Chains A and B, each alone.
Chain A
Amino acid sequence: MSREQFRPAGHPNEHFILTTVVGSYPKPKWLDRVRELHDDPEGDFDDGEWEEATDDAARIITHEHERAGLDAVVDGEMRRNEMVEFFADRIEGYEFNGPVKVWGHNYFDKPSVVSDVEYDDSWLVSEFEFTDGVADRPVKVPITGPYTLASWSFNEAYDDDRELALALADLVNEEIQKLVDAGARYIQIDEPALATTPDDHAIVGEALDRIVADLPEEVRIGLHVCYGDYSRIYPEILEFPIDEFDVELANGDYEQLDVFKEPEFDLDLALGVTDVHVAEVESVAEIKANIQKGLEIVPPERLTVSPDCGVKLLPRDVAYGKMENMVTAAREVERELDAGEIEVGAAVADD
């Protein structure tokens, strides 16, 4: 499907590298305070006030993304607490039994699937409608994929994780249909669990087939997989019914870039060009060099750039600085491409 729908009016260059983010963004400190007050039974904040606070935060962060110059924006996931909990809370069939360890003293309320999963109310449509209403730029919607929703839960009800993932894929499909009806055109499915168990790529592929069934052509589907050994899922991911594959490579200094060179990468590439685990803003020059790594894999018209992963753990000014420099870098690379000053890799030389 065409990426041109995301090219902003008045884009200064002939080339267009789509700039966006993976999703999460540091929450304003006052929102954390409001959450505490809302969670506290003795606190004086009701649901209406909580909603007002999250609306305010979503508006501010969406505008912050626009101010940084991003072509496709997100609300920074201001309403979400955690990528599995948020959805499990909204899906019939899940229950919570308490926190479990991830590492050290970091825990997560890993839910249990105790009966057939069922779709109840929509999960993200109101979030999308709000963000779309306040944004001037197109809005991207990140959604946790069914494989991750399955494998980061305790499965008490289904024969195996494949059965559960496929059942959840039908629900994700239903949600995405609703998002598309509401006007969403850019959906990113997050499947970090695939990095944990790369041998399960066939299950992810099968689930994706169900998710994209009956979606209109103009809807752009991205898949984000982070912190793993990509060689264990490549080239298999090329068979997935997606438009764009989103990778985290800045963190590993592009050591894994060559994985995507053979066989030829024929999807669009969404490349992480700033490291979300380094609390310093990379220079424009450094990010430009990272963007050009992407041009070794795909031509500019198939390149999207974003930070490696969600930036919620960074200080907010650093998160903003990274986005701002990333957009500046992308625009400079486009200008240099227009002027023929940049050598683009084999992918373009073959054209």
Chain B
Amino acid sequence: MTEFVATTPGVFPLPDWAKDQLGSLKGHQKEDLVDGSEGTEITDVYDETRATVADWQATAGLDRVVEGQLRWDDMLAHPLCVHDAVETRGIVRYYDNNNFYREPVVSGELTFDGDLADDLDALGEIDPDAPTQAAVPGPYSLSELATDEFYGDEGEFLDAIANFLAGEVRAFSDVETVFVLEPSLVTNPPGDGEDERASEAIDRVADATDADVVVQTYWGALTEKVHAHLLDADIDAVGYDFVTNHEDNLYNINEYGTKEEVAFGLADGQNTLVEEPEKIAERVAWVDEQTPGAEFETMYITTNTELFYLPVSRCIEKLEALAAGAARAAEVAQ
């Protein structure tokens, strides 16, 4: 019997009141962004926003609650952008989006920071019983978003980032699930040899926690080889983006198999058109039908991408659609 889990990859939009308030408190230039040393006034606002988005998720009825990654001014590059051994330089484009982040340049050893664990602890204080989910950038994506001026070798740099992320994940207090976001595996696939190393790097991060680890891939499908290597990692599920490319993702699953748990990106994180719950349930049934060889223990039902691309009202509606869609899928499956 498949368990349906409605959740998201995290990285939420700030509530509109906080957009204004934080803009006024912090400023609008690149030197004004989060660096890990925010004062009480700014921290208080973030605490309040975290409670707000936790409430959105609880009210919608999601099965996992993320802290929203609201401090991630630099999106997936955040854990490096706040690190002491990293300088942030110019504003660079975030994948093929009309979004920008500060380029993190690693200029020293990537030692333990604790920034991600602190935010998760802050979520835990809001509702200690909530089924918590963490989100972290995948080591390969984070290495692709950054520039190395310390390690000097691509392989060593990836290893260093994997060790750093593993340290951060090890510091997480109780979480049910960890989503590891790896869009770069799709958008800029690792070449021969590098693909194996990327998989080992993910393995190292996954090994740092007892929670279920889901590696979410998006903006297309993995190449066959990268997919095959990813399955070698000791993770619980691969996330597939069925919004942007259902054909190749289906092919990968049917041709190479997948883990016993799976995540399906079935709602569009980058479009304001809100899917009907019935539509989401139909997509679940369709994917299940199209993968006759697979029997899933757990199916995570999510948006394909992070959620910060959306205006707040539509983001909340997406959460509701995911929760209702997963509930409907469970009914249909019975």
Please give the residue numbers on chain A whose beta carbons come within 8 Å of chain B beta carbons, in ascending order.
Answer: 97-107, 110, 112, 151-152, 154-156, 193, 196-197
Contact = CB atoms under 8 A, between A and B. Distances in A.
Contact of A154 (B28, B32, B272, B312): B272
B312 A98 contact: yes
10 contacts: A97-B313, A97-B314, A98-B312, A99-B19, A101-B14, A104-B28, A154-B271, A156-B273, A196-B97, A197-B96
A155 B271 contact: yes
Given A110-B311, A196-B96, A197-B96, A101 B273 contact: no
A321 to B, nearest CB: 22
Given A112-B272, A156-B272, A103 B313 contact: no
Contacts of B101: 103
B297 interface: no
A104 B16 contact: no
Contacts of B229: none
B223 interface: no
A106 B313 contact: no
Nearest to B23: A105
B273 A100 contact: no
B22 A154 contact: no
Contacts of B26: 105
B100 A103 contact: yes
B99 A101 contact: yes
Nearest to B270: A154
Contacts, number: 67
Interface of B: 13-14, 16, 19, 22-23, 26-30, 32-33, 73, 91, 93-94, 96-101, 270-273, 308-314
Contacts of A156: 271-273
Contacts of B272: 97, 112, 154, 156
Contacts of B14: 101
A104 B13 contact: no
A102 B27 contact: no
Nearest to A84: B98
Contact of B311 (A97, A151, A155, A193): A97
Contacts of A197: 96
A98 to B, nearest CB: 3
B30 A104 contact: yes
A112 B16 CA distance: 18
Contact of B99 (A102, A154, A155): A102
B311 A104 contact: no
Given A101-B99, A104-B32, A196 B93 contact: yes
Contacts of B93: 196
B98 A196 contact: yes
Contacts of A106: 28
Contacts of A103: 73, 91, 94, 99-101
Nearest 9 CB-CB pairings of A with B: A98-B311, A105-B23, A103-B100, A156-B273, A154-B272, A97-B311, A112-B272, A104-B33, A154-B271
- B33, B271, B272, B314, most chain A CB atoms within 10 A: B272
Given A154-B272, A156-B271, A156-B272, A101 B97 contact: no
A108 B302 CA distance: 25
Contacts of A151: 98
Nearest to B29: A104
Contact of B13 (A101, A112, A196): A101
Given A99-B16, A152-B98, A193-B98, A104 B310 contact: no
A98 B313 contact: yes
A105 B22 contact: yes
Nearest to A98: B311
A110 to B, nearest CB: 7
Contacts of B96: 196-197
Contacts of B311: 97-100, 110
